[in-house]
Structures are given as structure tokens and as C-alpha cells.
Amino acid sequence: MELRNKFNVGDEAYTVIRKPIQYDCPVCDGTGKFNHNGYNVKCPHCCGTGKLTDKKTLWNVVEEKVTIGSIRVNIHSNNGQSIKYKVYCKNVLYTINSRPESQLFLTIEEAEKFCYDGNNPIKSKTIKDYIADGVPFVINSMNERRETREGSIIFPNGWVASIVKPTNSPKQYTVAIFDYDGYLNLEILRKHFDNNDGVVICNTEDEVCKVLEYIKNL
Ligand SMILES: [Zn+2]
């Protein structure tokens, strides 16, 4: 059995930690005290620290690198591996003594990216989002008015995505592409997506959104 560990004992790596968000006390403006008739009074709101902490936490890169002390691998029945490392860290503020592989990085840039992604989760788009992004209506060359509505999204680039969700199958959608005049185009999607005759069959909304994203960017 091959171990797929990214780090070895003795290696140095960057790691990340979740920290509560700190902000300046609004009562004393972060100074910890305020002036009361000529006297400096300790701010009771923040107990003189000047800082308050939010319950919410954010990922931060730990400045000091950690050193890998030992490796623990759990092998799962499906041949998957989860790797944890015992680490040493010179940082005195936090106890950092073990880390999963996903939280150890060769470069500070990778660690920063992990924090950024973790602190700014991307909400995955839904069909409704694409409908909201669609052009409300167009008048085509045959003087017909076509509107964006559920199941038909008009993109500014000249294409219309048509989404059909058969009522007898809760999971399957089909997506096709038309021009503004209502002509079905079978070439575009057939070339780009696997196993389809020009109309793409999708099992999930996420798959539909992948096709919509593609059409939107044509
Ligand atoms: Zn205060």
C-alpha cells in the first residue's frame, strides 16, 4: 500500500488557524480608556483592553512555520487515506500540535489562498441566478418578443438556453440552445459536452448550471 503523504518528518510547512474576529471597542475607540471630567477612566465595556471579539471566526495564516514531528495515516476500506501530522510550532499564542494534511502548505501563498477561500465561500449558482442574469426580453428579426422566463433564459450574446424538466423524472433536466429567432442549434453543445446529440441531459441543477455558464460565455 502506497502512502501518499505530502510531507515527511522534519519538513517545515505553513499552517492556518481559525481566529475570532477582533474589532476596536466602539465605546473607547479602541484605546481602553476614556476621559471623564479630566480623569482617565478604564473603559468598562471592553474591560480596558480596547478590543472586543466577535463569535465568528476567520482563517488566518500562522506566521511561524511548523515542523512535522510524526505522521498518522488512516486507511479507509475504499483505499482512501486521511493523513494527520503531529507538528511543532514556535508560536506561543496558540497550541498547534496536530494538523490534517489539508491545513499544511508548502508556500505562504497556498496558505493564504486556503484562508481566502474559507473566509469567502462561493455560493454555488442556481438556475434562478441565471434567470436573474438574463435579458428581460428581446425583439427578434421576425418582430417577435421573446422573454426570459422559467425554462428559457435569453443571454445578451444572442443565445437562448432552454431548460426542460420532465415531470415524470424528478432528477433529469435537458438543456438546449436556440438563437433569438427560435432556431435550435445542435452543434454547439454537442461539440462541448460528452455523449449528447446537441441537447444535454443533466441529472442535477449543478450540471444544468455548468451548461448555462458555458452558453453565457459563448
Ligand atoms: Zn472600550
Instruction: Encode pLDDT of 114-137 as tens digits.
Output: 999 888 877 778 999 999 989 999
Q: How far is the CA of 42 from the centre of ligand 1 (A)?
A: 8
**Residues 147-151: what's their mean pLDDT?**
93
Query: Does residue 109 surpass a pLDDT of 90?
Result: yes
Tell me the mean pLDDT in the region 95-114.
94
Q: Return the pLDDT at 35.
A: 85
pLDDT of the residue at 31: 93
pLDDT of residue 57: 86
What is residue 27's DSSP assignment? Answer: T
Helices (H), 60-107: none
Q: Please tell me the distance between residue 92's alpha carbon and the centre of ligand 1 in angstroms.
A: 26
> How far does the centroid of ligand 1 lie from the alpha carbon of residue 127, in Å?
47
pLDDT class of 143 with cuts at 50, 70, 90 = very high
Mean pLDDT of the chain: 89
Distance (Å, rounded) from C-alpha 86 to C-alpha 97? 6
Q: Where are the domains of the chain?
A: 12-119, 127-216
Query: Is residue 189 within 8 Å of 176, Cβ to Cβ?
Result: yes
d(CA 62, CA 84): 18
Query: CA-CA-CA-CA torsion for 187, 193, 198, 200, nearest 10 degrees?
Result: -150
How far apart are the CA of 62 and the centre of ligand 1, in A?
27
**Ligand 1 centre distance from Cα of residue 52 (Å):** 8
Decide if pLDDT at 84 tops 90: yes
Once rounded to an integer, what is the mean pLDDT over residues 139-159? 92
pLDDT above 90 (res 20): no
What is the grid cell recorded at 187? 452543434
Q: What is the pLDDT of residues 170-188, one digit of tens each?
A: 668 999 999 999 999 999 9
Distance 95 CA to ligand 1 centre (A): 28
CA 136 – ligand 1 centroid, Å = 51
Half-sphere exposure of 33 (CA within 13 A, CB side): 8
pLDDT for position 38? 87
